[in-house]
Amino acid sequence: MHYFETTTLPADLSEFSEIIDVRTPAEFAIDHIPGAINLPVLSNEERISVGTLHKSSAFEARKLGAGLVSANAAKHLSEYFLKKDLSYSPLLYCWRGGMRSRSLTHILSSVGWRAQLLNGGYSAFRKWMVSDLENQFEHSDLKLIVLSGLTGVGKTRLLHSLEEQGAQVLDLEGMANHKGSLLGTPHTGAQPSQKFFESSLWHQMSKFDPAKLVYTEAESNKIGKLHCPPSLWKKLSESPVIEIELPLLERTKLLSEEYPHFCNDPASLSDLLNVLRRIRGNALVDTWQKQIKEQHWEIFLTSILQDHYDLSYRKPGDEKSIYSSPIASVQVHSISADSYLSAATELIELEL
């Protein structure tokens, strides 16, 4: 018997003081409900110990687990929960709403807080979220506007400028922590897991007003190691496309600004370029390597744009592109913030 309330999805998660994920840090890192905090009642090592013992004796494993959960719950009570007042009302979950979350929820309820348990735990959230995300792309009135253009035109910068002016923006590369190209591997941090990418995508989508346009960037099916969910990929292929243009010299300047770490670590850049020998040939890659070694950055960046990225670009409307032909084009004149703000204004004023 339990002495606390339970919550079943879909629910208004904003009604809770906070959402608490009591799973291990390793489980939390793979994925969690957006906005949740991690207060583990078993550490990574403790969960492994309990699981190993369970193979030989479920009873002994439950005894060990109960003691560890109690000790960690006591620590959280004396530290994290110490200053919470009587109005505090958290929602707790573990993997399936089992012993870990039930134990801490019961303790918090016994203190007097209105703690609630998420029925089915993270597993239930994941199943519901995937279905809801698919519904948002396939069965809603959502209208995406896709920004396309050659590498280096600053599509992400334009998205940020649109957001500054109050437009709804879906920054897929930001959520994926990858710029979606050979040089796009994150310089700081790693890409999230596929599951966390999808949870972040769902969280962002749930904030949008479906009656208003949502601007996003044309992407490949993969952004680094991550895949676009099939429903998103289909929605992108069906959405209107705006072609973004920027002069070559300005594109070169933009790459120089956005990839400064390669100038500081030319060896890593040289290693990346070797991957292109198969499609661009040894002679061109050797030329690039020489330009990098001699720090002829402007010459190198111009060439990598013209002789690699521009040749790889699948123009919307071409038979090899999933995207339809552009319905309009917007010219950005320079990489200045004012130029992108001006282009964003032009975009917003288009009759779409």
- Among the listed residues 91, 94, 242, 273, the single catalytic one is 94
Q: What distance in Å separates the CA atoms of residue 312 and residue 151, rounded to the nearest whole number? A: 10
Q: What is the spatial distance between Cα 348 and Cα 352, in angstroms, rounded to a whole number?
A: 9
φ/ψ (deg, to 5) at 114: -90, 70
In order of 248, 293, 306, 348, the CA distances from 289 in angstroms are 21, 6, 16, 42
C-alpha–C-alpha distance, residues 228 and 197, integer Å: 9
Neighbour-count burial of 82, counting CB atoms closer than 10 A to its CB (0-12 exposed, 13-18 middle, 19+ buried): exposed
Backbone angles phi, psi at 156, to 5 degrees: -65, -40
Residue 144: beta bridge partners? 214
Q: Is 228 a catalytic residue?
A: no
Residues in the chain: 352
Whole-angstrom distance, CA of residue 163 vs CA of residue 337: 13
Phi, psi angle pair for 237, to nearest 5° = -70, -20
How far, rounded to the nearest angstrom, does the alpha carbon of residue 80 sit from its chain's CA centroid? 28
Give the CA distances from residue 286 to residues 205, 283, 294, 301, 312, in Å, rounded to whole numbers and listed in that order: 45, 5, 12, 14, 19
Nearest-angstrom CA–CA distance, 349 and 194: 35
Task: Show which residues are catalytic.
Answer: 94
